[in-house]
């Protein structure tokens, strides 16, 4: 008995045509190709009942899941170039166990992403991405794709592998996401399709954004064999707007209400952001087949992503302990509910506003060549060669103004903050003369990553009642990653600030001064929150000042030079420091991360099956061995700080070593190997009911951003000088350091178990359950470690350095339930109704190898060296939190989709929801260094000198999307799509000891699009 393996990749390609025709067809076993040399294909003669459109796509995806060797979930394009959503990221959130982030990046919670960003699989972020079974990535310092960069119009389907097998490329503890494209032989002959689309945002308004795609494929038989060519091009534009409210963290105040501590934010603020992106893609495939024994294909894939956004943000920059409150009410925990904020100390509440312009250009180019040869009927040899190059360049520029707000009336009782301003306050805020030029901040970055990979596979097929085939192969890779950031990374520089008055300038550069007027605009925030909220008009710098860097920065900072020169003329003394741009490129070790990596992998896998048992069993057993060698080019510097000892004085007290200052390049070599066994079993209780058991070991390498080899060390010596005895008594010697990364990190490893029950009661009907558990080791966290340097005597001295370390273990467990069905028994037009639904529960635990917890926070640093703050979070009253879950993990997620397919009509209404999830304790806006020390044992109790960082959470969020399509005839189809039909608000929460408080609210409004598709043959 001889059986080929049915993988998601092979079956997906085989069924692509089934989704784009309207009659039954017989699959051609000679034209079904595995991409990237993945072995196996649908059995010869397998027939596919073809159903058109959405129902056919669900049917195909169900067959992929049923017949794959591993635990797989898939989404298949309903038509050529038509996945069910406008981005790959949004497509992925429909799959059980997958959630997507709604902020632009995981390090930037203050900006919403309309199409989604980071992907989490079963509660973990260690996701590996593939294109046609090959490694694929973006130049983002990580190891996977930015899925929002990839044109969905080029995709034939998406597969998510949730457990490993030996022949899979290593690297994805969470799961493996494979994006599939088509090959020419997937079609029986010539095929061409064209689509055009226009999208409209109700919040941004303006003209519609265009999108379009065109695909052509054909095949020819020649004396040199059969040839096929496929070309697919896509372009998509999207313009959206996001409006946001924010409330500042609540500060404990004992000087506002007599005999009571109340908690008061230092202000509330708002912003709006216009976002424009253009996503382009090109895919081409050349395929050749001499006969059934020799075939090959060459593919080219390129995705390009261009993003521009402009933001106008108004934010509190006040001192929280100068704020006074009148007409206040508080909740039972003492948190402010309503009240009017003023600042008599500064004659107004200091606020800042900013015009911010950001751009990014990214691309990924993949070229691959695959050859398959069958020297004999039992043997299959495959060679696969690939080169991937990814690049990205970013620019981020902010120009800010300052103003003293007379007062701010807050009402925080409702879900959305309410702000009240009288007519005089509104007029004051709309007057440019009340604003001064405040600051500039620039950031630049560029990254490139290149990988060359070769994979060779051999398969021997048995003619045996138990053994089906044995596979073995090797994979060799060479990868480099270079990232350059400006230094400082975000170079904030004051123009004129109130705290400069007296010693540097005599007054700020107000726009009311004719010398500093102009280049400012008034934003009245029209249609804010879709007209549901009214906020005052604010004066902002023109966006051209932000985008015109560096010349506009030079002009703005001359305002400071003018005022500084006036101060020198009036007071004398000192000088004026000119503006200095951030360093970018060249010899800039702190801003450069240069990595290279080589891997060598070998696997062997045995497939087996017994069909004559009462309950047939099949599966695979294998092991993968991989050796990783990495090289990090870095930099190490040491700076001693020793008190100046006057002549004839001497030291006493704590001895301190002598270590000369130095700065030098320092490279690091790292190597490790991993043995990854796996077992996949399937038991068929009937033709429609089956069960799976899967066990495996997997690994995820550290991101390249975590491997940066830049470390700064310092030795600080402090003491007391006694002039009478001419003695400097040394009281303290500290040796510390900070590392941007850790080039000696090991991979995170995991042992995982999956159990599934799958009932396929109809061609597009199923009920499935999956239970899973993972045990993680060597989870990477930021913690202190020891770095040693020799002193002048040769003795090794210990430095406490904060850096990423393999410092924790963790567990993840949960289950998934999925159901889909068309109710064909309903009468009349109702017969086309169907439902697709899934629910996922995930729970996690993390345990540090070296526990870090202190009931009270200490120290004024908000950096990585404050380990208690980073691990546990600290409130503004100096108390720790602790027991925080793994980030970006929602315990509960579900999708519910109402389907309709009958005749020429197809429709869906899809609701996607995820529960609250933890983000970070060190996010911008919810951290600071002015917390109150309430530790009774502290020598500084009562002072405002404690660093704090609040746990920030994304609140539960659900979004309703929908669409209707109508097939005019076999060639023409019209689609109407809608996203965010309910105008959902995305909310963030900050945890304090007075409870979870609202931090931010974002709205983007509904979006609508119309698409016309035409098939030529």
3-state secondary structure labels for all residues of 558-600: HHHHHHHHHHHHHHCCCCCCCCCCCECCCCCHHHEEEEEEEEE
Q: Is the pLDDT of residue 42 over 70?
A: no
Q: How confident is the model at residue 646 (pLDDT cuts 50, 70, 90)?
A: confident
For residue range 493-531, list pLDDT tens digits in order.
999 999 999 999 999 999 999 999 989 999 999 999 988
Given this model, what pLDDT does residue 860 score?
66
If one counts every other C-beta atom within 10 angstroms of the C-beta of residue 806, the result is 20
Given this model, what pLDDT does residue 549 score?
97
Higher pLDDT, 149 or 459: 459
Q: What is the pTM of this model?
A: 0.90
H or E element, residue 61: helix 53-67
Given this model, what pLDDT does residue 210 score?
96
Q: Is the pLDDT of residue 858 over 70?
A: yes
Given this model, what pLDDT does residue 24 score?
32
Given this model, what pLDDT does residue 811 score?
94
Q: Is 316 exposed, middle or buried (0-12, 13-18, 19+ CB in 10 A)?
A: buried
C-alpha pair distances (Å), 188 with each of 131, 228, 670, 800 = 24, 10, 50, 66
Q: What percent of the chain has pLDDT over 70?
A: 94
CA distance 868 to 880: 8
Q: 919-956 burial string, b = 16+ CB within 10 Å, else e?
A: bbbbbebbbbebbbbbbeeeeeeeebbbbbbbbbbbbe
- Across the range 1008-1017, mean pLDDT stands at 93
- Across the range 917-944, mean pLDDT stands at 90
Q: How confident is the model at residue 862 (pLDDT cuts 50, 70, 90)?
A: low
Closest CA to 729 of 648, 640, 650: 650
Closest CA to 606 of 771, 468, 434: 468
Q: Is the pLDDT of residue 30 over 60?
A: no
Q: Is 144 exposed, middle or buried (0-12, 13-18, 19+ CB in 10 A)?
A: buried
- Across the range 408-412, mean pLDDT stands at 96
Residue 60 in contact with residue 27, Cβ under 8 Å?
A: no
Given this model, what pLDDT does residue 33 score?
37
Given this model, what pLDDT does residue 863 score?
60
Q: How confident is the model at residue 305 (pLDDT cuts 50, 70, 90)?
A: very high
Name the CATH superfamily housing domain 51-370+379-1015: TonB-dependent receptor, beta-barrel domain (2.40.170.20)
- Across the range 372-400, mean pLDDT stands at 97
- Across the range 268-277, mean pLDDT stands at 96
Closest CA to 807 of 837, 843, 782: 782
Given this model, what pLDDT does residue 903 score?
92
Q: Is the pLDDT of residue 966 over 70?
A: yes
If one counts every other C-beta atom within 10 angstroms of the C-beta of residue 854, the result is 15
Q: Is the pLDDT of residue 12 over 80?
A: no
CA distance 389 to 407: 54
- Across the range 95-99, mean pLDDT stands at 94
Given this model, what pLDDT does residue 850 score?
86
Q: Is the pLDDT of residue 623 over 80?
A: yes
Backbone angles phi, psi at 312, to 5 degrees: -125, 115
Given this model, what pLDDT does residue 26 score?
31
- Across the range 687-706, mean pLDDT stands at 96
Domain ranges in the chain are 51-370+379-1015
- Chain-wide mean pLDDT for the chain? 90
CA distance 23 to 302: 33
Q: Cis peptide leading into 488, omega within 30 of 0?
A: yes
3-class secondary-structure state, position 828? helix
- Across the range 666-671, mean pLDDT stands at 93
Q: In the structure encoding, which two tokens stand for residue 200, read together?
A: 């409209």
- Across the range 282-308, mean pLDDT stands at 97
For residue range 152-209, list pLDDT tens digits in order.
999 999 999 999 999 999 999 999 999 999 999 999 999 999 999 999 999 999 999 9
User: Of 28-37, 248-257, 531-540, 922-931, which range is least confident?
Assistant: 28-37
Given this model, what pLDDT does residue 864 score?
58
């Amino acid at each position: 008995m001889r059986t080929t393996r049915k993988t998601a990749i092979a079956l997906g390609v085989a069924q692509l045509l089934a989704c784009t025709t309207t009659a039954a067809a017989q699959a051609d076993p000679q034209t079904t190709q595995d991409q990237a040399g993945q072995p196996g294909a649908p059995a010869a003669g397998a027939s596919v009942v073809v159903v058109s459109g959405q129902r056919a796509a669900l049917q195909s995806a169900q067959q992929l899941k049923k017949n794959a060797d591993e635990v797989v979930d898939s989404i298949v394009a309903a038509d050529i170039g038509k996945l069910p959503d406008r981005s790959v990221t949004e497509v992925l959130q429909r799959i059980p166990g997958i959630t997507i982030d709604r902020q632009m990046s995981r390090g930037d919670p203050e900006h919403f992403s309309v199409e989604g960003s980071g992907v989490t699989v079963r509660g973990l972020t260690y996701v590996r991405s593939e294109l046609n079974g090959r490694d694929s990535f973006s130049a983002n310092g990580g190891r996977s794709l930015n899925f929002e960069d990839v044109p969905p119009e080029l995709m034939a389907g998406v597969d998510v592998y949730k457990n490993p097998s030996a022949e899979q490329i290593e690297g994805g503890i969470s799961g493996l996401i494979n994006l599939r494209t088509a090959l020419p032989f997937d079609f029986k002959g010539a095929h061409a399709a064209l689509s055009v689309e226009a999208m409209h945002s109700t919040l941004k308004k303006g003209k519609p954004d265009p999108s379009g795609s065109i695909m052509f494929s054909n095949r020819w038989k020649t004396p040199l064999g059969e040839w096929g060519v496929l070309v697919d091009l896509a372009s998509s534009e999207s313009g959206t707007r996001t409006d946001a409210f924010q409330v500042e963290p609540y500060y404990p105040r004992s000087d506002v209400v007599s005999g009571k501590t109340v908690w008061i934010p230092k202000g509330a603020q708002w912003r709006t952001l216009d976002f424009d992106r253009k996503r382009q893609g090109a895919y081409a495939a050349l395929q050749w087949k001499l006969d059934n024994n020799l075939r090959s294909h060459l593919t080219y894939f390129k995705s390009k992503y261009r993003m521009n956004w402009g933001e106008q943000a108004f934010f509190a920059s006040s001192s929280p302990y100068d704020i006074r409150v009148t007409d206040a009410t508080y909740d039972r925990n003492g948190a402010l509910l309503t009240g009017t904020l003023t600042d008599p100390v500064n004659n107004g509440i200091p606020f800042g506003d900013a015009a911010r312009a950001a751009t990014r250009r990214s691309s990924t180019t993949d070229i691959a060549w695959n050859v398959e040869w069958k020297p004999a009927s039992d043997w299959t040899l495959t060679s696969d060669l690939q080169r991937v190059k990814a690049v990205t360049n970013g620019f981020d520029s902010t120009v800010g103004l300052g103003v003293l707000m007379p007062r701010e009336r807050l009402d925080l009782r409702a879900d959305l903050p309410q702000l009240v301003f009288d007519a005089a306050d509104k007029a004051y805020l709309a007057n440019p003369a009340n604003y001064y030029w405040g600051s500039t901040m620039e950031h630049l970055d560029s990254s490139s990553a290149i990988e060359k990979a070769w994979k060779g596979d051999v398969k021997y097929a048995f003619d045996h009642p138990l053994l089906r085939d044995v596979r073995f192969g090797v994979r060799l890779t060479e990868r480099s990653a270079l990232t350059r950031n400006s230094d400082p990374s975000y170079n904030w520089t004051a123009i004129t600030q109130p705290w400069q008055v007296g010693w540097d300038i005599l007054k700020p550069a107000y726009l009311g001064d004719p010398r500093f007027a102009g280049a400012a605009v008034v934003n009245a925030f029209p249609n804010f929150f879709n007209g549901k909220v009214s906020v005052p008009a604010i004066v902002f710098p023109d966006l051209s000042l932000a985008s015109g860097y560096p010349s506009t920065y030079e002009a703005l900072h001359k305002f400071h030079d003018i005022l500084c020169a006036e101060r020198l003329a009036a007071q004398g003394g000192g000088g004026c420091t000119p503006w200095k741009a951030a360093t970018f490129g060249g010899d800039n070790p702190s801003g450069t991360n240069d990595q290279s990596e080589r891997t060598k992998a070998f696997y062997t896998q045995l497939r087996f099956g017994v069909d004559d048992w009462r309950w047939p069993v099949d599966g695979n057993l294998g092991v993968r061995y991989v050796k990783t060698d990495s090289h990090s080019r870095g930099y190490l510097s040491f700076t001693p700080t020793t008190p100046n000892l006057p002549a004839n004085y001497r030291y006493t007290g704590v001895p301190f070593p002598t270590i000369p200052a130095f700065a030098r390049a320092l490279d690091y070599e790292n190597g490790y190997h991993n043995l990854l066994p796996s077992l996949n079993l399937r038991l068929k209780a009937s033709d429609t009911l089956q069960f799976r058991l899967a066990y495996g070991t997997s690994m995820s390498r550290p991101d390249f951003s975590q491997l940066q080899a830049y470390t700064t060390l310092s030795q600080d010596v402090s003491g007391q000088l006694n002039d009478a005895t001419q003695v400097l008594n040394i009281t303290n010697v500290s040796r510390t350091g900070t590392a941007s990364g850790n080039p000696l990190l090991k991979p995170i490893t995991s042992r995982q178990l999956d159990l599934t029950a799958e009932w396929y009661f109809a061609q597009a009907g199923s009920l499935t359950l999956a239970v899973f558990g993972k045990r993680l080791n060597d989870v990477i966290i930021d913690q202190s470690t020891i770095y040693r340097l020799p002193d002048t005597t040769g003795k090794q001295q210990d430095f406490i350095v904060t850096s990423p370390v393999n410092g924790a273990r963790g567990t993840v467990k949960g289950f998934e339930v999925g159901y889909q069905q068309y109710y064909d028994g309903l009468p009349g037009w109702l017969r086309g109704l169907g439902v697709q639904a899934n629910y996922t529960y995930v729970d996690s635990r993390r345990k540090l190898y070296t526990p870090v917890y202190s009931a009270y926070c200490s120290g004024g640093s908000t950096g990585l060296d404050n380990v208690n703050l980073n691990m546990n979070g600290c409130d503004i009253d100096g108390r720790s939190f602790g027991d925080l879950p793994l980030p970006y993990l929602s315990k509960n997620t579900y999708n519910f989709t109402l389907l309709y397919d009958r005749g020429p009509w197809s429709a869906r209404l899809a609701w996607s929801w995820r529960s609250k999830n933890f983000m970070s304790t060190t996010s911008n806006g919810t951290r600071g260094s002015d917390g109150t020390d309430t530790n009774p044992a502290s020598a500084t109790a009562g002072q405002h000198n404690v660093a704090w960082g609040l746990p920030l959470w994304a609140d539960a969020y659900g979004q309703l999307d929908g669409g209707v399509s109508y097939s005019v005839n076999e060639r023409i189809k019209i689609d109407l799509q809608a996203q965010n039909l309910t105008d959902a608000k995305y909310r963030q929460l900050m945890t304090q000891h007075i409870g979870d408080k609202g931090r931010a609210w974002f709205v983007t409004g509904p979006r609508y699009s119309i698409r016309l598709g035409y098939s030529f043959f």
